[in-house]
Structure 1
Amino acid sequence: MSAASIAPSSANAKLSAREKKWIVYDVGNSAFVLLSTAVIPIYAKSLMPADGNIVSAWGYAQTIASLVIALLMPLLGSIADVQGMKIRFFLGFFGTGVVMCCAMALPLTWLPFLIVYVLATIGLNGSLTFYDSMLIDTTTNERMDKVSSHGYGWGYVGSTVPFILCIALIFGGPAVFGWSTTACTRAAFVITAIWWVAFTIPLLTSYKQVHFRATREHTREAVAGTFTELGSTFGKIVKNKPLWMFMIAFFFYIDAVNTVISMSTSYGTELGIDSTQLVVALLVTQFVAFPCAIIYGRLAGRFGCKPMIMAAVVAYMGIVFFATFFLKSAVEFWILAILVGMFQGGIQALSRSYYGKIIPKDHANEYYGFYDIFGKTASILGTFLVATTTSLTGNASIGVLSIAILLVVALVFLTLQKDPTRQGAAA
């Protein structure tokens, strides 16, 4: 069985049932991502003592989760390329994420809560690595841009449903049900976990691993040779110039994208925008990202995936310049939220699908493991640049402007890279 036999042949054809069932996992897991952005940090802060520093504690939690995933994924990805192993690893990480999401509803002090959150985040990000690699088993090269874009698009808008429900519960629950705000927040964690499970079931009932490295009876030998395979894969990446040039470009531009996202809220707070407006602005970004991600997929079908990625990089340069020179009030902050929403989903979706087109299909998990290292460690350099530049110049605007350096470097590598998809051959 090939991907072509389970997906429509035309890039413009309607989504198949299998493609839709793959897409809805983005709807499920994105609910936890959105909650992690706006609710969980605030709740974690409420658990800390008055002299506690939530910024540093939260930063350490995120760093630990990212580091664990970055170290594990290439290794586990190599094993998961064996027939039948991909879904097992996906289930393991997905299950961990959901159980830990529910566990956050327990009456924990701040440190155990952060530990549980780290485990939930590891579960989420681990499942996403295998989920991303499932794209090549779900559809064809010609349809990857469309399917990936729909995943991000529906993930953005779908995740707002449980999020709005949770926010309504947190703010209105005390008056309506007589619960404390803490109890309402804990209930929100359970609601999110239920949503996550509900939108994972379709994928679990439909997924079939099409591309694999070996049959099940060779699993033991494959596990024993995992480290050899990893070294071999790294060597192949180094020898594949178009691939490693894209991976370097991806590291720099996705770093910039993540930094813009993470810095937006802090800028809004500095401008005196209250938490309610910040939450609404976040929702606006989600709703704008929904159609724009899907439109980006269609434009990639017309103009090519890589040109659209490059267009998004240039657009982010404009966003950085806008944030540097024009972001002075709440009005400009709302404009920034809309601009980010226009390009955020598109560049993420096309990066995922483009990478899937230029790697060997039978080693997809292994290659996506390396992709995950670049994606999960991104934003480290960007935030460092912003912090250092701001410290040296005493000007936060100049600090934000430094993000443009990352985008310029990415654009240079993308410009110099020869596009394998344009040459009609996969790497």
Structure 2
Amino acid sequence: MGLLKGYTKQEISWMMYDWANSAHSVIIVTILPIFFDSVAECTADSVSSMSTWGYATSIAMAIVALSAPFLGVFGDIRGMRKKLFGIFLGLGVLSVAGLAFTPLMDFTSSTDAAGRVAMFILALYILSTIGFDASCIYYDAFLTDITTEDRMDRVSTLGYGLGYIGGSTIPLVIFLVMNLVGIDMLICLSFIFAFTAVWWLVFSLPLLKNCQQKGGKPYEKGDVGRNIRGVVSTVKEIGRNKPMLIYIIAYFFYIDGVHTVISMSTTYGTNLGLDSTGMLLALLLVQVLGLPFCLLYMKLSAKFGARTMVGVGICVYMFICVFGFFLRSLWQFWVLAVLCATSQGGIQALSRSMFGKLIPDKERSGEFFGFFDIFGKFSSIIGPTLVGIVSATVANSMLTSQGLTAATATAEQVDAINAASSPYGILSILIIVALGGGLYFFLLPKYLKQSGKKL
């Protein structure tokens, strides 16, 4: 493949994990919520399934975020990074494989049956998300092992681009084709969840085979306790490193908009009553456009700098939050999809490589990426939780104003209230993105100038 010409075997193997895990990102994060919404409609309390999904996402992110610094520290022990990567990869793959059975379960016979299936889906979704995000801690840490600082922007960005044309596109195309030729939707869902698990595992093998951890201290008795205590000293070290501290706090806020839009988009569209096939075709467009826009970000970052291009991405997502509030029709969802495609991969890839360049001791990259991950995951807790709280609060207020309750409202009334309350949840994300943008644009340059560091 000419696109990979000039990259080393380790760099290509590392990038293939983006190709592998992107199947989870598009199938589990965007299609599973649509299926969950169908199951939730059969439960006793079907009001604001968007908030339930947001809470489940927040629980998964909280578990990873709280454990990330410790997971990262243990990944810096010699020989442990790949082993821990494999453990969490296995957890994610097995959980997604378990989801393949859920569409075949009986969830229409009673509200109790629907409730059990809904809880099973949420449990497997949480476990798969933990496996996905924890494995990415070690995947990100491998970036400093497999390439040099001057190549990080290119390698990181192309990795995201390969994810778009591979795992983000091919499984989705297969699902859409199966659906369009008339195969039963539940059968399609069961197959594609199983296919995603296999895809994720198979294309992770190059990293497991070819990428090696550089450095790292050998394990010694008492290392577990020392490493846990060492997390506190690393916090202090980050606190003294002002450019890293300001950057990671800004990242905490602005990346929230990216993650929340990704995880809540199809749930939001479903609550608005948009056609699910139309939304999935729009998401397919995002994946098709993802690679060229990643390559564009890569070229522009070489000319203008990664910091400038991340700033462009922040501005795009601020506009997306406002545009999403006014979204009411499918064509507008397509416009939103194109807007996301322009910056979704670029802002994440360049944020990752920018942090990699800020790490003072590359042999401790797992430790530092653990903290990077905790900030990224806690932002993913705040966003979906905020969307869930605002959507549920507005929905309950509308119910009360109409003299209704979740038990007395008809299905049509519930749908109308969900459609009317959901935009307020999406708009609330703007607050968080704006906070991150303020730190990024106005405070970070000051400390970078003082330290003499260029990004």
User: Which category describes the TM-score, using the shorter chain as reference length?
Assistant: 0.7 to 0.9
Q: Which stretches in structure 1 are left out of the alignment for 5+ residues? A: 1-11, 175-179
TM-score of the two chains, using structure 2 as the length reference: 0.81
2:404 aligned residue: none
1:407 lines up with 2:415 in the alignment: no
2:156 aligned residue: 148
2:200 aligned residue: 196
2:275 aligned residue: 274
Shift of 1:17: 2.1
Q: What SS is found at the alignment partner of 1:39?
A: helix
1:71 lines up with 2:66 in the alignment: yes
Name the CA shift for 1:422/1:27 in 2 (closer, same or farther; >3 Å).
farther
Counterpart among 180, 185, 189 of residue 189 in structure 2: 185
Task: Give me the whole-angstrom Cα distance separating, in 2, the residues matched to 1:172 and 1:422.
Answer: 61
1:23 aligned residue: 15
1:54-108 Cα offsets, whole Å, 9 max, x none, are 4454334322221211122211211110111100100110111112222222366
Task: Give me the whole-angstrom Cα distance separating, in 1, the residues matched to 2:428 and 2:52.
Answer: 25
Determine if contact 1:153/1:293 at 8 Å carries over to the other structure.
yes
Determine if contact 2:15/2:158 at 8 Å carries over to the other structure.
yes
Report the residue type matching 1:167 in the other structure: L
Determine if contact 1:82/1:219 at 8 Å carries over to the other structure.
no
Shift of 1:249: 0.4
1:40 lines up with 2:32 in the alignment: yes
Task: Give me the whole-angstrom Cα distance separating, in 2, the residues matched to 1:63 and 1:401.
Answer: 18
Name the CA shift for 1:399/1:82 in 2 (closer, same or farther; >3 Å).
closer
Report the residue type matching 2:8 in the other structure: S
1:3 aligned residue: none
What CA RMSD, in Å, does the superposition of the two structures yield over aligned residues?
2.9
1:151-200 Cα offsets, whole Å, 9 max, x none, are 111112212102221333355463xxxxx543442222221111112211
Task: Give me the whole-angstrom Cα distance separating, in 2, the residues matched to 1:333 and 1:259.
Answer: 16
Question: How does 1:5-154 map onto structure 2 within 5 Å?
Answer: 14-47=6-39, 49-53=42-46, 54-106=49-101, 109-110=116-117, 111-154=119-162
Question: How does 1:186-335 map onto structure 2 within 5 Å?
Answer: 186-212=190-216, 214=217, 216=218, 218-269=219-270, 272-324=273-325, 327-335=327-335
Name the CA shift for 1:379/1:63 in 2 (closer, same or farther; >3 Å).
closer
Report the residue type matching 1:302 in the other structure: K
Shift of 1:423: 6.1
Task: Give me the whole-angstrom Cα distance separating, in 2, the residues matched to 1:103 and 1:157.
Answer: 26
Determine if contact 1:357/1:426 at 8 Å carries over to the other structure.
no
Report the residue type matching 1:292 in the other structure: F
Q: Which stretches in structure 2 are left out of the alignment for 5+ residues? A: 106-115, 399-419
Name the CA shift for 1:205/1:80 in 2 (closer, same or farther; >3 Å).
same
1:5 aligned residue: none
Report the residue type matching 2:432 in the other structure: L
Report the residue type matching 1:406 in the other structure: I
Determine if contact 1:166/1:188 at 8 Å carries over to the other structure.
yes
Q: What SS is found at the alignment partner of 1:247?
A: helix
Q: What SS is found at the alignment partner of 2:245?
A: helix
Task: Give me the whole-angstrom Cα distance separating, in 2, the residues matched to 1:225 and 1:128.
Answer: 24
1:177 aligned residue: none
Question: What is the aligned residue count?
Answer: 407
Task: Give me the whole-angstrom Cα distance separating, in 2, the residues matched to 1:119 and 1:275.
Answer: 25
**Greater mean alpha carbon deviation, residues 146-155 or residues 292-301:** 292-301
Shift of 1:425: 5.3
Report the residue type matching 1:87 in the other structure: K
TM-score of the two chains, using structure 1 as the length reference: 0.86
Task: Give me the whole-angstrom Cα distance separating, in 1, the residues matched to 2:138 and 2:380.
Answer: 22
Name the CA shift for 1:58/1:401 in 2 (closer, same or farther; >3 Å).
closer
Task: Give me the whole-angstrom Cα distance separating, in 2, the residues matched to 1:145 and 1:406.
Answer: 26
Report the residue type matching 2:237 in the other structure: K
1:4 aligned residue: none
Q: What SS is found at the alignment partner of 1:15?
A: coil
**Greater mean alpha carbon deviation, residues 269-278 or residues 307-316:** 269-278
Determine if contact 2:390/2:424 at 8 Å carries over to the other structure.
no
Report the residue type matching 1:166 in the other structure: F
